[in-house]
Amino acid sequence: MTAEDFQAGQVLLIDKPLTWTSFQAVNKLRWEIRQAYNIKKIKVGHAGTLDPLATGLLIICTGKMTKQINTFQGQDKEYTGTFVLGSTTPSYDLESEIDQRFPTEHISEENIHNATQSFIGEIDQFPPVFSALKKDGKRLYEYARAGEEVEIKSRQVRISTFEITKIDGLNIDFRVVCSKGTYIRSLAHDFGKALNSGAHLSVLRRTKIGDYDVANAVSPEDFISSLSSE
């Protein structure tokens, strides 16, 4: 691939590692492309944020393909992961410590499978307080980390597939296909409530965005290696 190819526009499928932010991934790839081809300036952006504690498919666009970012962002996403029943965290995932514990003795495998049905279709969902959404010019997580209360409005999202793929004690593996704007952390929290208990997200992996599959993605390291070998 040449400098002209990247300027003309490329769609890169990156398998984002754990703990990386989507912003870090974009910055790293932009820097590596500039260094490899001695490019002073190039547009690079991602089509849909993944939380630091999530792994999986990140679509990164370069050059003129950055104009297509909104199109990619609007496509349905597929996720797999794990909910942990019986406890909640303020962030709805492992970014924060467990703050409450709930009984789980009443929950059967049948209850778990049946509970998915109430989330299929158009649903109203409250985003987590620990999220990058903005209110009055500040990110919600900035309010949350400062211990400030903030009113969050629900929004409508669509879940077309929600299936339980494995039950191992309190660890519930799932697969979800959903619309843009769906928070799987919020789904975990609400799923716990639906079972008259609590739940939080412990593992999350984005496996698809539209027709793009993480099976065809490469790690940042492999992408960088491919630049140096050209």
Q: Which residues are known to be catalytic?
A: 51
Residue 50 and residue 16 in contact, taking contact as beta carbons nearer than 8 Å:
yes
From 57, 63, 48, select the one nearest 6 (Cα to Cα): 63
From CA 82, how far away is CA 62, in angstroms rounded? Answer: 33
Sign of the dihedral defined by the CA atoms of residues 135, 138, 143, 148, in that order: negative
Tokens of 216: 């065809």
Do the strands 77-85 and 121-125 form a parallel or antiparallel pair, or are they unpaired?
unpaired
Q: How far is CA 194 from the centre of its chain?
A: 22
**Burial readout 106-121 (b: 16 or more C-beta within 10 A, e: otherwise):** ebeeeebeebbeebee
